Amino acid sequence: MFGKGLLKGLSVTWNFLWGKAITEEYPERRPRLPSYSRGFLQLDKEKCIACGLCATSCPNNVIHIETVKDEQNKRQLKAYRITVGRCIYCGLCVESCPKGALYWVPDFERACYRHEDTEVDLLAAEEVKGGA
């Protein structure tokens, strides 16, 4: 009676010990994320028409857009800020963008230590990335 349970438990332990590893060695090996994963938002400034649909569709009011009018009376982006700490990554902003200017990138390493760092200006981040 006791021997069968002990042998069954040892066999389960043996199978887990020598079975396929399901964990990843994270910092050493980067995970391969599927194409539908939601890592972080990226903005294509050239495609954006500053319509504000993304900010309107956000349920947590995470997106804040500042616009200015140019000589042809068209709206241009001045600032595009996202408060990442309140974002629930629902994707409604990406779906509502009529030009496809807002999209997901598989960058998920956005940890920060201060609350002030949870607000990200995507226009400034694009300029830094483009200039480097």
Residue 100 has what pLDDT? 93
What is the chain's alpha carbon radius of gyration, rounded to the nearest angstrom? 23
What CATH number is associated with residue 58?
A: 3.30.70.3270
Report helix, strand or coil for 69.
strand
Is residue 1 included in any domain, yes or no? no
Instruction: Give residue 57's Cα distance to chain centre.
Output: 17
Q: What is the pLDDT of residues 61-83, one digit of tens each?
A: 999 999 999 888 888 899 999 99
User: Domain limits at 113?
Assistant: 33-131
Separation in Å, CA 45 to CA 2, 50, 77, 112? 69, 9, 8, 25
Quote the number of domains for the chain.
Answer: 1
CB neighbour burial string for 63-75, b if at least 16 within 10 angstroms, e if fewer: bebebeeeeeeee
Supply the DSSP symbol for 70.
-
Q: Is residue 8 part of a domain?
A: no
For residue 52, is it within any domain? Answer: yes
Domain for residue 7, yes or no?
Answer: no
Residue 63 CA to residue 48 CA, distance in Å, equals 14
For residue 88, being part of any structural domain is answered with yes
pLDDT digits (tens, 9 = 90+) for 8-64: 888 888 888 887 777 777 778 888 888 788 888 999 999 999 999 999 999 999 999
Residue 49 maps to a domain: yes
Backbone φ, ψ for residue 118 (5° rounding): -80, -10
